[in-house]
Amino acid sequence: MPKDELKSEYRLIGTRPDRPDGLDKVTGRARYGADMSLPGMLHAAVVRSPHAHAKILKIDASAALALDGVKAVITRADFPTGLTGEDWNLQENSMAGEVALYDGHAVAAVAATSRLLAEDAAKLIKVEYEVLPHVIDVDDALRMDAPVIRAGVGDHTVPEGSPPNVSKKIEFGHGDLEAGFAAADLIREQTYKTEATHQGYIEPHACVAQLGSDGKGEMWVCTQGQWYIRRMCSAVLGLEASQLRVTPSEIGGGFGGKTIIFMEALPLALSRKAGGKPVKLVMSRSDVLRATGPTASASMDVKLGMTKDGKITAAHVNFRMQGGAFVGASPVGEALSCALACYDIPAVMHEGVEVLANRPKAAAYRAPGSPMAAFAVESLVDEMCHELGLDPLDVRLKNAVHEGVKASYGPTYARIGLVEVLEATKKHPNLLAPLGPNQGRGIASGFWFNHGGETSVSLAIGEDGTVTVSIGTPDIGGSRASMSLMVAETLGIAYEAVRVNIVETGALGVNEPSHGSRATFASGKAAVEAARSAIREMCRRAAKEWGIEEEAVEWKDGAAMPAGPNAGKFPPMTIAEIGAKMGGTGGPISGHHETNADGVGASFGTHVVDVEVDPETGRTTILRYLVVQDAGTAIHPAYVEGQYQGGAVQGIGWALNEEYVYGANGRLQNAVFLDYRIPVASDLPMIDTVIVEVPNPGHPYGVRGVGETGITPPLPAIANAVAMATGARLRSLPLSPPKVLAAIKAKKG
Amino acid sequence: MHYYKPQSFDEAVQIAASASGVTRFLAGGTDVLVQLRAGTVTPDHLIDLKLIPGVHDIARTEDGGWKIGIAVSGIDLGRHAELVAEWPGVVEGMSLVGSTQVQGRATLTGNLCNGSPAADSVPGLVTARATVTVVGPNGSREVAVEDIPAGPGRNVLQQGEIISAITLPPRGKNSGDAYLRFIPRTEMDIAVVGVAVSVTLDGDKIIAARVALGAVAPKVLVAADAAAALIGSTLDDAAIAALQAAVTAAAVPITDRRGTVEFRKDVVAVLAARAARIAYDRAKGAV
């Protein structure tokens, strides 16, 4: 296997072996959420509100229940009462109570012997509504006279006299803001807006669930986190968590959107009502777009002070975000924390509010909050660089954070790689490509914290010396390959000798989902520790057989061997030999590790994009795209590049054409992929990538986590490029052709 | 739902004429099946026309035109070298419909009967003066393509009536056509604006022209003033400007999730100029 061009002292880490899940996926053998079926299984369909905001007066299911083959209908009356906080939010979002809060909000569900029958039955469930005034736009929702979504939503952080839909207010900062702005030669303040976008995973939510009257249940589900599904479903339905066994399916994308429940409690409730028969529920694409988590929409003010040589002296950001009709769903806190994270600024102030609107409950979406924040801040930095005649890369280098600097959001940075990223960007040949008429180049940087979190991993030595690893974080981005590489590296065995399984909730301690770019970092760290624990046991077995002290045995190249000439003369005992006789030497050998993984290392990235804008139609073509990002260590570089490219592509979609379009009636107008325009393959050039490696000292192999940072720079990078290509600065996304053309025409006068 | 596989158009007409409720025909099925799955149209009777002899054929007519079967797919149309050489604008309209997979099924007739004002193949057929043969309980008749759509999602066909073929007239010398559409992406999208232009030259001078507009009115629009602006010109700047003014004036678009009135009126002019230049160059044999 060829070693990668990346410098590495490792035997396997940094190579690009075939992915363990590859053959299953290309042959169609991989089992996704909708592939599960059970004998006697019923099929569910959901009745959804066609109104953005409406009181539910009456639900009449008699005609549906009269159909032969219809086994159960549920409404909110079938759920326990008295829930509070996020548990109540999850229950209210699973099934509307007194009021439907957005177009697509579930109000009833039915289980029947076939999917067609369930869908026919759903049409027969009559719901009487009293339509209420609604509000969609984030700034409209902040008006004092906006329709009130829920009285008294503001928590203790919300000052009295605030608009009624404000649920949370955040303020933090440090340094002398006044002195900082006084030291600036140029102060600029602008307002930016971004629309809600959906994660757009290929696989719709799907599950099969079974729940008996004894409270014991089972579920097979497409998710990023089986324990979160278990906890949330248990809370919403009043079950004991350990009585619900949740097995994750193969997953066709999540991007944060599959870390919480949307419809998963419904088939459980239907199953319980239908005498414990298993119930399958698969969402349509329209249901996914209408009723699962998009990200928030944002309205953001940024004020920056800069000296004429490009030093940023002060920054003040004020963000407003709506994450749907539910408290705490918006990522306004993360957005604020990420906004200025790339810059070493003496004085910073952050303010933000969350506001409720009649939209679906927002879920995490790849670096939640950071892309919007970057759009606002990195656009204004670019505007000011141009105004002062400064090179945007040099200005970013001049202000770049590094080890020891106090971050804008509080802590002091450990070893980070932003400077290395910017220097690698400067050297890239894409920056020398000549630009033609109507073309422009945009540059922006971005940041994500990365995450550790609750992690539990087990590893078992097989009778032939091969190794099984049980992981609790679903593989959404190549983590089975990276775990296999790290475990094989640690044990000194072949990559192919390791099989990594993503296991159900009964098999390990509680794991957080695959979120926060944590799987390869946290599960990887625990897997390495589990392997080390198994190594210690294997050394003990060898020591016992050789009749020497444990400390006199060391592990090397997949075998136990005497630690030196004084330890005695014994031939190496391989993992295969130890495995073959472990039954007689003390029983099964396994390793286990659980942790609240610390030592997280942040990842920074810089993107450079060249665009061409058709001056007559406002249509933007991406000509060249470069991603430079610090991976810490790239365990499997092909997967790292895939994450970089994927993040860039989702960002390109968000920047150019993706948006939730609502009609005057508050209904989503584009709940199909035909009109919710994610990029298609032919829209994109090859996304060039450069992996920078500044190892994270908090991980045994230096991993930082690479999944999320890649979506943070594209929004401003593209807006900056379009501004250069057209001379028109757009501060509202998406940069759809009608908006760009209008801006070009306005500029011409 | 009842599903039928008639072996002739006579049989299909009989089934359709006596059917009650919602009837739909399957040629490619790329609209009917999508509407069925989305629950927007659930037919009581589904009449599959693909097994009728000849519906997959593209044949030269006696006068030198073309007869295109109703189940000829977009891919088969695009692979027909002679047809592509004579009517590139017709073929490129059809080839823009859907994905590669959809192209293997989608048909000109289906695109026309579906009644979408944004149908990509229709403006090119209109500028080509294509006709369709409508068969029904009272015999058959030839109808101009532009007279088939009745508005978004509707057509003029009466119960029991079926289109049995599309006919393109002989192309004639020194002629060229072109179709352009605007979409925000590069494929897999619905036209925000579509424009077809067909011209015939005598030397450098345009002696005949047709201009048809898609997605800027409830149905395909024949822009007679726009064609008149071209006739007699050599496609000079003044003619282009007159063409652009005429199409912008003719367009009566709406604002929806795909575009605004203002944007569509701007872009229809842009595309008209671009399509006219391509059609003109093709007529000159330059491309």
Residue of B nearest to A745 (CA): B266
Contacts of A656 in chain B (CB under 8 A): 184
Q: Which CATH number fits domain A412-446+601-748: 1.10.260.40, 3.30.450.20, 3.30.365.10, 3.30.70.20?
A: 3.30.365.10
pLDDT in tens, A78-130: 999 999 999 999 999 999 999 999 999 999 999 999 999 999 999 999 999 99
Q: Does B182 touch chain A (CB under 8 A)?
A: yes
Distance of CA A131 to the CA centre of its chain: 35
Q: How distant, in Å, are the alpha carbons of A52, B127, B171, B227, B229 from that of B232? A: 56, 18, 20, 10, 8
Contacts of B185 in chain A (CB under 8 A): 657, 677, 679-680, 682-683
Contacts of A674 in chain B (CB under 8 A): 188-190
Rg over alpha carbons for chain A, rounded to the nearest Å, is 27
Contacts of A738 in chain B (CB under 8 A): 259-260, 262-263
| CA quadruple A310, A312, A313, A318: dihedral sign | positive
- Cβ(A432)–Cβ(A372) below 8 Å: no
Q: Please identify, in words, the CATH class of the domain defined by A452-597.
A: alpha beta
Distance of CA B52 to the CA centre of its chain: 22
Burial category of B21 from C-beta neighbours within 10 Å (exposed 0-12, middle 13-18, buried 19 and up): exposed
Q: Which of B185, B188, B267 is opposite residue A617, by nearest beta carbon?
A: B267
Architecture of the domain delimited by B175-283 = 2-Layer Sandwich (3.30)
B212 phi and psi angles, rounded to 5 deg:
-130, 140
- In the structure, what pLDDT confidence band is assigned to residue A9 with cuts at 50, 70 and 90? confident
Q: Does B270 touch chain A (CB under 8 A)?
A: yes
Closest Cα in chain A, distance from residue B248 (Å): 14
pLDDT in tens, B58-106: 999 999 999 999 999 999 999 999 999 999 999 999 999 999 999 999 9
Q: According to the model, what pLDDT value does residue A1 have?
A: 39
Residue of B nearest to A736 (CA): B184
A619/B182 Cβ within 8 A? yes
Q: In whole numbers, what is the pLDDT of chain B averaged over residues? A: 97
DSSP A157-203: TSPTT--TTEEEEEEEEES-HHHHHHT-SEEEEEEEEE---B---SS
A435 or A597, which is more confident: A435
A267 pLDDT exceeds 90? yes
Taking chain B (287 residues) in runs of 10, the rounded mean pLDDT of each run is 97 96 95 90 96 98 98 98 97 96 97 97 98 97 98 96 98 96 95 98 98 98 98 98 98 94 98 98 87
Which of A619, A735, A748 should one mutate to test binding to chain B, selecting the residue with the greatest count of B CBs within 10 A? Answer: A619
| CA quadruple B220, B221, B226, B230: dihedral sign | positive
User: How far apart (Å, rounded) are the C-alpha atoms in residues B281 and B287?
Assistant: 6
Amino acid in position A174: H
A2 pLDDT exceeds 60? no
B162 phi and psi angles, rounded to 5 deg:
-140, 145
Q: According to the model, what pLDDT value does residue B37 have?
A: 87
- Cβ(B195)–Cβ(B232) below 8 Å: no
Which of A195, A283, A616 should one mutate to test binding to chain B, selecting the residue with the greatest count of B CBs within 10 A? Answer: A616
- Cβ(A649)–Cβ(A684) below 8 Å: yes
B187/A738 Cβ within 8 A? no
Contacts of A661 in chain B (CB under 8 A): 257
Closest Cα in chain A, distance from residue B251 (Å): 16
Q: Does B186 touch chain A (CB under 8 A)?
A: yes
User: How far apart (Å, rounded) are the C-alpha atoms in residues A707 and A700?
Assistant: 19
Contacts of B187 in chain A (CB under 8 A): 680, 682
Domain positions in chain A are 412-446+601-748, 452-597
Contacts of B262 in chain A (CB under 8 A): 738, 742
Amino acid in position A140: D
**For a pLDDT cut of 90, what percent of chain A falls above it?**
97
Q: Does B20 touch chain A (CB under 8 A)?
A: no
Q: Does B260 touch chain A (CB under 8 A)?
A: yes
Contacts of B267 in chain A (CB under 8 A): 616-617, 737, 741
A8 pLDDT exceeds 90? no
Interface of B with A in 37-76 (CB under 8 A): 38-39
Which segment of A11-15, A306-310, A667-671, B35-39 scores lowest on mean pLDDT?
A: B35-39
- In the structure, what pLDDT confidence band is assigned to residue A567 with cuts at 50, 70 and 90? confident
Tell me what the mean pLDDT of segment A196-212 comes to.
Answer: 97
Tell me what the mean pLDDT of segment A231-243 comes to.
Answer: 97
Closest Cα in chain A, distance from residue B33 (Å): 15
User: How far apart (Å, rounded) are the C-alpha atoms in residues A81 and A331?
Assistant: 28
- Cβ(A534)–Cβ(A591) below 8 Å: yes
pLDDT in tens, A16-72: 999 999 999 999 999 999 999 999 999 999 999 999 999 999 999 999 999 999 999
Contacts of B270 in chain A (CB under 8 A): 616-617
Tell me what the mean pLDDT of segment A368-388 comes to.
Answer: 98
Residue of A nearest to B42 (CA): A120
pLDDT in tens, A141-199: 999 999 999 999 999 999 999 999 999 999 999 999 999 999 999 999 999 999 999 99
B185/A680 Cβ within 8 A? yes
Distance of CA A541 to the CA centre of its chain: 43
Q: Which of A657, A682, A742 is opposite residue B187, by nearest beta carbon?
A: A682
User: How far apart (Å, rounded) are the C-alpha atoms in residues A479 and A547?
Assistant: 40
A573 three-class SS:
strand
How many degrees, rounded to 5, is the angle at CA B214 between CA B209 and CA B217? 110
Burial category of A545 from C-beta neighbours within 10 Å (exposed 0-12, middle 13-18, buried 19 and up): middle
Contacts of B256 in chain A (CB under 8 A): 669
Contacts of A737 in chain B (CB under 8 A): 182, 184, 192, 259, 263, 267
Q: According to the model, what pLDDT value does residue A7 have?
A: 54
A677/B185 Cβ within 8 A? yes
Q: How distant, in Å, are the alpha carbons of A457, A473, A592, A594 from that of A454? A: 10, 10, 14, 8
A3 pLDDT exceeds 70? no
Cis before residue A294, ω within 30 degrees of 0? no
pLDDT in tens, A518-533: 999 999 999 999 999 9
B92 phi and psi angles, rounded to 5 deg:
-70, -25
Going through A267-338 in order, the beta strands assigned E by DSSP cover 279-282, 297-306, 312-322
Q: According to the model, what pLDDT value does residue A278 have?
A: 98
pTM of the model: 0.96
Residue A134, phi-psi category: left (phi > 0), alpha (psi -120 to 50), beta (remainder): beta
Q: Does B267 touch chain A (CB under 8 A)?
A: yes
Q: Does B263 touch chain A (CB under 8 A)?
A: yes
pLDDT in tens, A489-519: 999 999 999 999 999 999 999 999 999 999 9
Rg over alpha carbons for chain B, rounded to the nearest Å, is 19
Which of B240, B258, B260, B268 should one mutate to test binding to chain A, selecting the residue with the greatest count of A CBs within 10 A? Answer: B258
Residue of A nearest to B98 (CA): A674
Contacts of A619 in chain B (CB under 8 A): 182, 184
B1 three-class SS:
coil
